[in-house]
Chains A and B, each alone.
Chain A
Amino acid sequence: MDGERIRGAEKPFSTRPDGWNELRLLDSITAGSLDTRINEISDRDWQGPIDLDLSGASSVDITALQYILALLNERGRKQLATAFSVPKAEKVRDCVGAWGFPTAASIVFKSSIRTLLWRGDRPFISERRRLYGKEGAQARRSTNAYARLVETRFFRFGAHVFNTDPQIDSIIEAEWSRWRSPLVMGFLESCLQDRGPEIARVVIYELLVSALRRPRADLVSIIPFADDPDVVRTGEGHLSISVWDNGKTMIEPLRVALDAGAANQPSVPAGDRFHVESSGWTPSVKRYVGGWKPRGDATDEELLLCSLFPVQPQVGERQGYGLRALYRCVIDLFGGSLEVRTGNQLMNLRGWSRGRRRTSRAYQAEICRIGGRQFNGNMITVRIPVSHGT
């Protein structure tokens, strides 16, 4: 029977009589919980048809959905039969719909949304269409810039395919105009004061350009999310922006260059200091300070850290900028954090403080080695504290 599932009481994974494997993603879904769940599946099962079942989700965040996009893209590329089931809880279902996740999923999987949705969930499309039609017909009621941004569906996935320079130009153009609209600028100014323009100028630009220039990438997905000022009681909330690309991991080009003995490796910029907390690997030094360069025996985790830094070009070469402008803006100016998920690594970068005092240009990098399947591509997420001044 279409849409019928066989559910084990606690089992997260089961096989239906028609041969489809059902991967249940329950409760609060995050990128971390997905890591755990994905690695519970055997390689053999992974090659079979899989339904990513979100029906039991009680909450889901944007990085988890980016993670699912990465999975869908990987499986689509390998032509592995895949479907997903939408959440049943109304609030989560609304978020997934309003963020345009189904459309982004169909772009990354390169198939129609109708084929990608689990059979029983297909009415979801017409249900959404009805809802947005009704909202459009209804009188507008938003009373602040945030509500207006929600209403105009600013907080949604932008998934773009690119193969040529003109396509890259038009993605940059589209995202720039999205982030430079007076409404967005007004919202950012209201919660970040005079630092608001730095979001479009530095954060979006650096995130986007680094993803678009990644070797072998032909897909990028970007999603912003901000806490509702009316819900955040203390007046403090977060603006998160997550960008995923399906290119080579950020580590690979550095490893290739290092193995080839290239002289111009990125090095820690003078004046910057990185205090590393490791998990699953051992750092070669206690602190990574200005001038430090990786040697041939550097770990993947050290290379991930190095991918943040600029490369000084040799004669005739172009300069590589790394992500220095991004981490300085996110951490030093906004007091936020930056998370990178790639390959078998997860890095969380934030300001380093001694006691209560933030030390200038000192950063704390928590870098974990995650066993099991490699993450497809690179996901960078920035989280910036915002004050709605209520």
Chain B
Amino acid sequence: MAPKEWFLEADVVRLGAPTQEPVDDRRRQLHLWVARRLLNSVRERRPATTTKYLPPEQIRSYPRLLGELLDLPNGGDEQTVAVIDCSLNHYEDLGENILYSVALCAAGFAASPGHVCIVLLPRLPHSYHSSFWEPLNELSISGGSVLVLNNEGKFKVHGGPRPKAEQVAPGYGQRQQELIGSRQQEFDDKIIRKMGHFEINDEYCSRYFFDGSRTVQELSHLLVDRITHLVGSRPSLARTELIVPETVDPWMEDAVAVASGKLRMRQTKWPSGGDRAAPDPDEHTQYLVMLDFVNTGSTYRRIIKEALGSGYNLHRYAVAAFMARDFQTEDDLPELSPIKRVRVDRVPRRDCVQCKIGLPFTNKDREELLRLRSYDAWEVLSHVPWIEETYGPPEHLRQKSNPDFVRLFEEFGDYLAYKLEMVLRHLVPGSAVAVACPEEPGILAVVKRMQPWADNRIVAVRVPRSVLEKADRSTSAEIRQLAEGHEWSRQLAHLAERNVNVVVVDEQNGSNRTARQMIKVLESFHLRPKAYLPVFNFVPSETLDGVRVVALYDVPRPRRMDP
């Protein structure tokens, strides 16, 4: 007789998000994979298609709502496996009341025989003090069971017939890691290549400055891995100290402090010059030089020269967070091992165009301008080919010559997303915010860059172009009817219900047409956008239909024709 089939029901829980979001297909596959490793013959009955979210005010006042949100079946004859996936949240965000609520849901569901609940958490809560385990410890062996898995594949099983958790654990950690991305990927995603006119030293200027301030956590992990790899054995690590210039960027200083704390390694701050001498070296210690950025290499050479002159025993490697792609380590110096090689566009001062036209230096620590500098905007616009528009408005209204925004955002998306986020935070400080945009590749790529910086709490509502086109001629009721059953309409309804601030973003504003359509769609859900933020605005104005307009850069078209 064929084994009885199991039915899978899954939920992805997101804490602190202002509304729901679609669940990645790969995550659904992960749920199915876990269930199938655990049980024979599993079929999806209710896969997780959108996230279940708890906004901040509900987390602190009414966390039991989670039970109502998840709505897991109780009883019934069918064999059911439920996945409660909380693994996308930071462990620190999962307060005791939330965890207890998750455990109550899991235990309530698993009280029936033939029910298995899989709880995915970023970490396993402490087994003694956390109330998470209390409802699970009370599960009877005659009922179902609960498997709790953390992102590394560690697990605990409670309740009745024990599922074969050992078969899940090894592959699960790796699969989660693939979905979350490697540390190096996370680091790369969070770096911002700032544009401007940066002073490297007395001889050179640079077009770019690499800002690692949003990736201290990832950088510290990568530094630990790199140092461990370069130095090797535990005794060697114990005999190693770091030499760090005393004037590195604050984010590097934080990352080094965290990394040296993890490695229990001391660090020596190397004087930046003047009459202060370096401390005397310890004869039993080997010193590893660590820098934030190696561009021309002058600081690196100076430190090595001074350290060797003072009798320091230097390691044969040195580590840099960033290193200019064209920098070559000289033979007699320790070999530089960078976390990331980057193109810096370094120019000698005498050849620097920005110096020639008298542009002031850019402050690398503090962004002084909210919007783009003209020099940067035009570099961005002229860097990519101008082509006929391939998406957006109907064909007869498309521009014959328009920047290739997909390529533009591939190249400059990090900085433009950073600037857009700055404007967003300036307009809607400190509160939950959602962004609404046309469902088009360019602007979605920019929004995607912004999301990890805000712990994915900036939710994007993607409105399809087909709806926007009909919005002109439709009433609010007709728009809501068009939207019925679609994910974005549920998102807008939730946002309106909770009175969340919504900002409309777009890659460009060519004629106010799409902007008006977006505003109309939002208003049909009783949402008044807080602002409209196009990256480039070819129809500059301060407001549009009463909505504030702030573009990263205004480019008035000399002969504009309104449709």
Residues of A within 8 A of B (CB): 139-145, 147-148, 152, 165-166, 168-170, 172-174, 176, 179-183, 185-187, 189-190, 195, 197-198, 200-202, 205-206, 209, 212-213, 318-319, 321, 324-325, 328-329, 332-333, 389
- In the complex the two chains form, is B261's CB within 8 Å of A144's CB? yes
User: Whole-angstrom distance from the CB of B127 to the nearest CB of chain A?
Assistant: 10
> Which residues of B497-543 have CB atoms within 8 Å of chain A's CB atoms?
none
User: Whole-angstrom distance from the CB of B526 to the nearest CB of chain A?
Assistant: 19
With both beta carbons as reference points, the residue of chain B lying nearest to A360 in the complex is identified as B128
User: Whole-angstrom distance from the CB of B225 to the nearest CB of chain A?
Assistant: 15
Report how far A360 CA is from B162 CA in the complex, Å.
Answer: 28
> Quick one: given A169-B432, A182-B217, are A142 and B262 in contact (CB under 8 Å)?
no
User: Whole-angstrom distance from the CB of B408 to the nearest CB of chain A?
Assistant: 31
- In the complex the two chains form, is A186's CB within 8 Å of B257's CB? yes
A/B pair count, beta carbons within 8 Å = 124
- Give the residues in chain A near B246, CB-CB below 8 Å: 139-141
- Give the residues in chain A near B271, CB-CB below 8 Å: 139
User: Whole-angstrom distance from the CB of B215 to the nearest CB of chain A?
Assistant: 9
Q: Is B220 an interface residue (CB 8 A)?
A: yes
- In the complex the two chains form, is B123's CB within 8 Å of A197's CB? yes
- Give the residues in chain A near B269, CB-CB below 8 Å: 139-143
- In the complex the two chains form, is B258's CB within 8 Å of A201's CB? no
Partner of B216, one of A140, A183, A321: A183
Report how far A186 CA is from B263 CA in the complex, Å.
Answer: 11
- Give the residues in chain A near B302, CB-CB below 8 Å: none
Partner of B258, one of A170, A182, A195, A213: A182
- Give the residues in chain A near B129, CB-CB below 8 Å: 198, 328-329, 332-333
Report how far A346 CA is from B91 CA in the complex, Å.
Answer: 33
Q: Which 6 A-B pairs have the closest CB atoms?
A: A186-B258, A325-B96, A190-B261, A333-B129, A170-B430, A182-B216
- Give the residues in chain A near B250, CB-CB below 8 Å: 140, 152
User: Whole-angstrom distance from the CB of B293 to the nearest CB of chain A?
Assistant: 16
> Quick one: given A145-B261, A172-B60, A213-B60, are A139 and B247 in contact (CB under 8 Å)?
yes
Return 16 A-B CB contacts under 8 Å, by A number.
A140-B250, A142-B269, A143-B269, A168-B57, A169-B430, A176-B93, A186-B257, A200-B92, A201-B95, A202-B95, A318-B62, A324-B131, A325-B97, A332-B128, A333-B126, A333-B129
- Give the residues in chain B near A147, CB-CB below 8 Å: 257
Report how far A140 CA is from B245 CA in the complex, Å.
Answer: 9
- Give the residues in chain B near A168, CB-CB below 8 Å: 57, 60
> Quick one: given A143-B268, A145-B261, A197-B91, are A202 and B254 in contact (CB under 8 Å)?
no
With both beta carbons as reference points, the residue of chain A lying nearest to B272 in the complex is identified as A139
- Give the residues in chain A near B128, CB-CB below 8 Å: 332-333
Cβ contacts B242-269/A at 8 Å (1 or 0 each)? 0000110010011101101110101111
Q: Is B90 an interface residue (CB 8 A)?
A: yes
User: Whole-angstrom distance from the CB of A367 to the nearest CB of chain B?
Assistant: 23
| Given A180-B92, A329-B129, 16 more pairs with CB closer than 8 A | A140-B246, A140-B247, A142-B253, A148-B257, A165-B57, A169-B56, A169-B431, A180-B90, A197-B91, A197-B92, A198-B126, A201-B91, A201-B92, A318-B61, A318-B62, A332-B129
- Give the residues in chain B near A181, CB-CB below 8 Å: 216, 254
User: Whole-angstrom distance from the CB of B358 to the nearest CB of chain A?
Assistant: 28
- Give the residues in chain A near B258, CB-CB below 8 Å: 145, 182-183, 185-186
User: Whole-angstrom distance from the CB of B156 to the nearest CB of chain A?
Assistant: 16
- Give the residues in chain B near A183, CB-CB below 8 Å: 216, 254, 257-258
Report how far A181 CA is from B61 CA in the complex, Å.
Answer: 25
Report how far A126 CA is from B220 CA in the complex, Å.
Answer: 37
Report how far A202 CA is from B62 CA in the complex, Å.
Answer: 17
Cβ contacts B78-104/A at 8 Å (1 or 0 each)? 000000000000111111110000000
Report how far A180 CA is from B128 CA in the complex, Å.
Answer: 23
Q: Is B64 an interface residue (CB 8 A)?
A: yes
User: Whole-angstrom distance from the CB of A63 to the nearest CB of chain B?
Assistant: 24
Report how far A169 CA is from B457 CA in the complex, Å.
Answer: 14
Report how far A306 CA is from B129 CA in the complex, Å.
Answer: 20
- Give the residues in chain A near B267, CB-CB below 8 Å: 143-144
- In the complex the two chains form, is A172's CB within 8 Å of B56's CB? yes
Report how far A198 CA is from B60 CA in the complex, Å.
Answer: 17
- In the complex the two chains form, is A186's CB within 8 Å of B261's CB? yes
Report which residue of B91, B253, B258 has the largest number of chain A beta carbons within 10 angstroms of its beta carbon: B258
Report how far A90 CA is from B60 CA in the complex, Å.
Answer: 42
- Give the residues in chain A near B64, CB-CB below 8 Å: 318-319
User: Whole-angstrom distance from the CB of B452 to the nearest CB of chain A?
Assistant: 14
Cβ contacts B27-60/A at 8 Å (1 or 0 each)? 0000000000000000000000000000011001
Partner of A201, one of B93, B131, B261, B262: B93
- Give the residues in chain B near A182, CB-CB below 8 Å: 216-217, 220, 254-255, 258
Report how far A56 CA is from B446 CA in the complex, Å.
Answer: 58
User: Whole-angstrom distance from the CB of A379 to the nearest CB of chain B?
Assistant: 21
- Give the residues in chain B near A179, CB-CB below 8 Å: 92
Report which residue of B97, B254, B266, B268 has the largest number of chain A beta carbons within 10 angstroms of its beta carbon: B254
> Quick one: given A189-B262, A201-B94, are A140 and B253 in contact (CB under 8 Å)?
yes
Report how far A144 CA is from B217 CA in the complex, Å.
Answer: 16
Report how far A176 CA is from B94 CA in the complex, Å.
Answer: 12
- Give the residues in chain A near B262, CB-CB below 8 Å: 186, 189-190
User: Whole-angstrom distance from the CB of B89 to the nearest CB of chain A?
Assistant: 11
Report how far A133 CA is from B92 CA in the complex, Å.
Answer: 34
User: Whole-angstrom distance from the CB of B130 to the nearest CB of chain A?
Assistant: 8
Report how far A329 CA is from B123 CA in the complex, Å.
Answer: 16
- Give the residues in chain B near A176, CB-CB below 8 Å: 92-93
Report how far A206 CA is from B430 CA in the complex, Å.
Answer: 21
User: Whole-angstrom distance from the CB of A214 to the nearest CB of chain B?
Assistant: 13
- Give the residues in chain B near A143, CB-CB below 8 Å: 266-269
- In the complex the two chains form, is A206's CB within 8 Å of B216's CB? no
Report how far A183 CA is from B430 CA in the complex, Å.
Answer: 22
> Which residues of B409-437 have CB atoms within 8 Å of chain A's CB atoms?
430-432
Report how far A181 CA is from B430 CA in the complex, Å.
Answer: 17
- In the complex the two chains form, is B431's CB within 8 Å of A166's CB? yes
- Give the residues in chain A near B247, CB-CB below 8 Å: 139-140
- In the complex the two chains form, is B254's CB within 8 Å of A148's CB? yes
- In the complex the two chains form, is A142's CB within 8 Å of B432's CB? no
Report how far A182 CA is from B253 CA in the complex, Å.
Answer: 11
User: Whole-angstrom distance from the CB of B281 to the nearest CB of chain A?
Assistant: 15
Report which residue of A186, A319, A329, A389 has the largest number of chain B beta carbons within 10 angstroms of its beta carbon: A186
With both beta carbons as reference points, the residue of chain A lying nearest to B457 in the complex is identified as A173
Report how far A170 CA is from B217 CA in the complex, Å.
Answer: 23
With both beta carbons as reference points, the residue of chain B lying nearest to A271 in the complex is identified as B134
Partner of A145, one of B96, B126, B257, B430: B257
- Give the residues in chain A near B260, CB-CB below 8 Å: 144
> Quick one: given A139-B271, A186-B261, are A206 and B96 in contact (CB under 8 Å)?
yes
User: Whole-angstrom distance from the CB of A253 to the nearest CB of chain B?
Assistant: 16
With both beta carbons as reference points, the residue of chain B lying nearest to A200 in the complex is identified as B92
- Give the residues in chain A near B266, CB-CB below 8 Å: 143-144
User: Whole-angstrom distance from the CB of B430 to the nearest CB of chain A?
Assistant: 4
User: Whole-angstrom distance from the CB of B246 to the nearest CB of chain A?
Assistant: 4
- Give the residues in chain A near B93, CB-CB below 8 Å: 176, 201
Report how far A54 CA is from B96 CA in the complex, Å.
Answer: 40
With both beta carbons as reference points, the residue of chain A lying nearest to B217 in the complex is identified as A182
User: Whole-angstrom distance from the CB of A157 to the nearest CB of chain B?
Assistant: 19
Report how far A152 CA is from B251 CA in the complex, Å.
Answer: 12
Cβ contacts B94-123/A at 8 Å (1 or 0 each)? 111100000000000000000000000001
With both beta carbons as reference points, the residue of chain B lying nearest to A191 in the complex is identified as B261
Report how far A174 CA is from B128 CA in the complex, Å.
Answer: 30
Report how far A152 CA is from B261 CA in the complex, Å.
Answer: 17
Report how far A121 CA is from B432 CA in the complex, Å.
Answer: 42
- Give the residues in chain B near A190, CB-CB below 8 Å: 261-262, 264
- Give the residues in chain A near B272, CB-CB below 8 Å: 139
- Give the residues in chain B near A333, CB-CB below 8 Å: 126, 128-129
- Give the residues in chain B near A319, CB-CB below 8 Å: 64
- Give the residues in chain A near B257, CB-CB below 8 Å: 142, 144-145, 147-148, 183, 186
Report how far A329 CA is from B95 CA in the complex, Å.
Answer: 12
User: Whole-angstrom distance from the CB of A324 to the nearest CB of chain B?
Assistant: 7
